[in-house]
């Protein structure tokens, strides 16, 4: 049996599953079933089983319609609790996975399965063995073989041998390293800092700061689409205030509620092919619904990364009561379905993944700002020039370092080297982190697409973007992690005085003594560039 291509959306009452079928499929003979949180569809040669995190309820107007022009079957699955937000609808691999496969996914990204999942027992696993295991198309590669010398690179430094397959001249076009396979992480960073200091041109920075032709001012008038979405959501749905809570703080203490949301939804209905398995049912005259007044579904804050500063006053950011989401295109779904969750013996720490994510998002934000949201043939150069990970295989270890490294490179390489552009990019990335996973993944997919269309730079997408996107699509509590990243980024860019923190050192030893580090304000004089301050 084949797993069809599908996508899921939702409104207040239904989860809508759009299934693309072939013209030879006899849709009028299709079989549908709803049971608790599971939906099953069968129409030879297709079979689809979806498990949702929230409950469905049969007998509340379930139906299916078929569009002859697009060969798309739209199935409307009623929610057990109208108005409830179904999660993970943009993660097809998660929806088709069995419970056993989901526990494996959690282990791969370093999450701890909760007690409810662990209590399924042998009986549940035996039942799963009888189920048909659905699979999306795979891209089979083995790029994580141990290297004879040097250190790994890419996501969690888990890749080796990727650049060994390329000619030396081609390697020089992809990264600015003479020997990527034989270099260590410390050597890559030392070489990058040395070349950055040598490339610094103070006169070019001063000319850009003057902005005589008004080019920088024109760029700053551009408002990205995701920032408009955030502003509309804050205005229409009410506001929550997120604060960086202490590690031991209770979840509900980190938010303050204000305002009420606006709700709505709907969908068109082509030719109807299914009207539910319950032929006749009557609604009660009065239906009691649980009151949701004062109950806000927001992600809990996670423990702050080790490099996060402890501010004297807690950071307080306004977020929508319910964050909007973006709907992925067919092309984006095609990519997401083929990304494999990284299989690592020691998954990376969340702080490390957040730092890499911010690195990519900052480069994407500057390119989006410079091209006014249109992109151009120079986008691949901009992305690689502004990201230390893409240019030197040298990702930042913390969000603070990611913001600092980005600021340095903006003042070195682009046409416009104005610090206001750095600050605007910080704000754009902070807003994207607040909006959640779908907006972050959309930006990462754009970076991947640009790299994939550039000769030889697809290798960078393989070692960084593919596992990073798969991580965010499968990690538990992605909203909480991204919210923590937004809070930490805001703390760093808003800091006006140095702060001393303890930073856990990366290494192979299980017990590593943390070191004290001074985090300076992210101003021009603290970027480490060879400025003439006289």
Give yes or no: residues 414 and 503 share one domain.
Answer: yes
In a domain, 11, yes or no: yes
Q: How far is Cα 492 from Cα 311, in angstroms, rounded to an integer?
A: 10
Report yes or no: 342 and 156 within 8 Å, Cβ to Cβ.
yes
Give residue 275's pLDDT.
64
Give yes or no: residues 102 and 147 share one domain.
Answer: no
In a domain, 336, yes or no: yes
Which two three-digit tokens encode residue 86? 């179904």
Give yes or no: residues 395 and 459 share one domain.
Answer: yes
Nearest in space to 226 (alpha carbons), one of 522, 494, 482: 482
- Exposure string for 260-297, b = 16+ CB within 10 A, e = fewer: eeeeeeeeeeeeebbebeeeeeeeeeeeeeeeeeeeee
Give residue 108's pLDDT.
59
Q: How far is Cα 190 from Cα 367, in angstroms, rounded to an integer?
A: 26
Give yes or no: residues 103 and 228 share one domain.
Answer: no
In a domain, 482, yes or no: yes
The answer for residues whose C-beta is within 8 angstroms of residue 105's C-beta and 6 or more apart is 94, 97, 341, 474
In a domain, 302, yes or no: no
Give yes or no: residues 43 and 162 share one domain.
Answer: no
Q: How far lies 279's CA from each of 76, 317, 353, in Å? A: 16, 50, 50
Q: How far is Cα 26 from Cα 298, in angstroms, rounded to an integer?
A: 43
Q: How far is Cα 354 from Cα 347, in angstroms, rounded to an integer?
A: 13
With vertex at residue 162, the alpha carbon angle to CA 156 and CA 166, rounded to the nearest 5 degrees, is 150
Nearest in space to 441 (alpha carbons), one of 50, 55, 92, 84: 92
Q: How many domains in the chain? A: 2
| Domain final residue pick, 97, 130, 163 | 130
SS3 (DSSP) at 39? strand
In a domain, 74, yes or no: yes
Residue 490 class from Cβ within 10 Å (0-12 exposed, 13-18 middle, 19+ buried)? buried
The residue segments making up the domain with residue 81 are 5-109+126-130
Q: How far lies 53's CA from each of 76, 143, 289, in Å? A: 17, 33, 20
Give yes or no: residues 510 and 398 share one domain.
Answer: yes
Note down pLDDT in tens along the chain; length 534 residues: 788 889 999 999 999 999 988 877 888 888 999 999 999 999 888 899 999 999 999 988 899 998 887 888 999 999 999 999 998 898 888 898 887 776 666 555 655 555 444 444 444 454 444 555 665 544 444 444 444 456 889 999 989 888 887 888 888 889 999 899 999 999 999 999 999 999 999 999 999 999 999 999 999 999 999 999 999 998 887 777 777 655 433 333 334 444 333 323 333 446 666 666 543 333 333 223 333 333 333 343 333 344 444 445 666 788 888 889 899 998 999 999 888 877 777 788 999 999 999 999 999 999 999 999 898 989 999 999 999 999 999 999 999 999 999 999 999 999 999 999 999 999 999 999 999 999 999 999 999 999 998 878 999 999 999 999 999 998 888 999 999 999 999 999 999 999 998 876 665 444 556 778 899 999 999 999 998 766
The answer for residues whose C-beta is within 8 angstroms of residue 76's C-beta and 6 or more apart is 14, 15, 16, 61, 62, 63, 64, 65, 267
Report yes or no: 447 and 458 within 8 Å, Cβ to Cβ.
no
In a domain, 198, yes or no: yes
| Residue 523 φ/ψ, nearest 5 degrees | -110, 170
Give yes or no: residues 360 and 437 share one domain.
Answer: yes
In a domain, 115, yes or no: no
Report yes or no: 115 and 81 within 8 Å, Cβ to Cβ.
no
Give yes or no: residues 218 and 81 share one domain.
Answer: no
Give yes or no: residues 215 and 347 share one domain.
Answer: yes
| Residue 125 φ/ψ, nearest 5 degrees | -65, -35
Q: Look up the CATH number of the domain holding residue 39.
A: 2.60.40.790
Give yes or no: residues 354 and 492 share one domain.
Answer: yes
The answer for residues whose C-beta is within 8 angstroms of residue 133's C-beta and 6 or more apart is 98, 101
Q: Tokens 């990284």: give the residue.
A: 342
SS3 (DSSP) at 40? strand
Q: How far is Cα 378 from Cα 184, in angstroms, rounded to an integer?
A: 30
The answer for residues whose C-beta is within 8 angstroms of residue 454's C-beta and 6 or more apart is 380
Give yes or no: residues 235 and 338 share one domain.
Answer: yes
Give residue 145's pLDDT.
44
Chain centre to alpha carbon of residue 385: 22
In a domain, 82, yes or no: yes
Give yes or no: residues 332 and 463 share one domain.
Answer: yes
């Amino acid at each position: 049996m084949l797993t069809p291509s599908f996508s899921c959306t939702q409104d207040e009452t239904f989860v809508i599953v759009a299934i693309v079928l072939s013209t030879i499929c006899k849709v009028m003979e299709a079989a549908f079933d709803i049971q608790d949180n599971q939906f099953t569809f069968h129409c030879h040669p297709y079979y689809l089983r979806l498990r949702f995190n929230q409950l469905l309820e049969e007998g509340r107007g379930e139906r299916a319609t078929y569009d002859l022009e697009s060969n798309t079957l739209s199935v409307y699955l009623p929610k057990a609790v109208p108005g409830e937000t179904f999660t993970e609808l943009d993660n097809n691999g998660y929806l088709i996975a069995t419970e056993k496969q989901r526990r494996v996914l959690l282990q791969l990204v370093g999450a701890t399965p909760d007690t409810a999942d662990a209590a399924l027992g042998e009986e549940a696993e035996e039942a799963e063995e009888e189920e048909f295991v659905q699979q999306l198309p795979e891209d089979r590669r083995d790029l994580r073989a141990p290297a004879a010398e040097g250190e790994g690179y890419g996501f969690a430094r888990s890749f080796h041998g990727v650049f060994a397959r390329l000619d030396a001249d081609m390697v020089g076009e992809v990264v600015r390293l003479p020997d990527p396979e034989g270099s260590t992480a410390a050597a890559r960073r030392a070489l990058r800092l040395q070349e950055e200091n040598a490339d610094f041109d103070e006169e070019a920075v001063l000319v850009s700061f003057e902005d005589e032709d008004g080019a920088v001012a024109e760029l700053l008038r551009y408002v990205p689409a995701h920032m408009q979405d955030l502003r509309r959501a804050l205005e229409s749905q009410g506001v929550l205030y997120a604060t960086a809570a202490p590690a031991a703080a209770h979840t509900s203490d980190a938010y303050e509620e204000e305002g009420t949301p606006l709700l709505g939804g709907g969908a068109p209905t082509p030719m109807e092919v299914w009207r539910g398995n319950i032929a006749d049912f009557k609604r009660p005259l009065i239906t009691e619904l649980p009151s949701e007044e004062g109950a806000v579904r927001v992600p809990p804050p996670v423990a702050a990364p080790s490099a996060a500063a402890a501010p004297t006053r807690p950071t307080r950011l306004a977020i929508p009561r319910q964050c909007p989401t973006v709907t992925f295109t067919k092309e984006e779904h095609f990519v997401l379905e083929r990304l494999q969750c990284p299989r690592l013996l020691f998954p990376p720490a969340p702080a490390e993944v957040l730092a890499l994510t911010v690195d990519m998002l900052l480069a994407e934000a500057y390119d989006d700002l410079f091209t006014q949201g249109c992109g151009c043939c120079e986008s691949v150069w901009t992305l690689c020039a502004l990201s230390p990970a893409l240019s030197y295989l040298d990702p930042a270890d913390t969000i603070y370092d990611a913001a600092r490294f980005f600021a340095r490179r903006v003042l070195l390489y682009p046409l416009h080297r104005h610090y206001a552009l750095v600050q605007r990019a910080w704000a754009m990335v902070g807003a994207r982190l607040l909006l959640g996973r779908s907006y972050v993944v959309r930006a990462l997919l754009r970076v991947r697409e640009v790299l994939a269309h550039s000769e030889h730079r697809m290798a960078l997408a393989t070692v960084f973007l593919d596992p990073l996107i798969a991580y965010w699509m499968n990690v538990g509590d992605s909203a909480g992690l991204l919210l923590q990243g937004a809070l930490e980024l805001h703390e760093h860019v808003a800091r006006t005085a140095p702060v001393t923190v303890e930073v856990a050192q990366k290494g192979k030893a299980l017990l590593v003594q943390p070191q004290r580090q001074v985090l300076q304000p992210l101003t021009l004089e603290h970027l480490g560039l060879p400025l003439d301050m006289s």
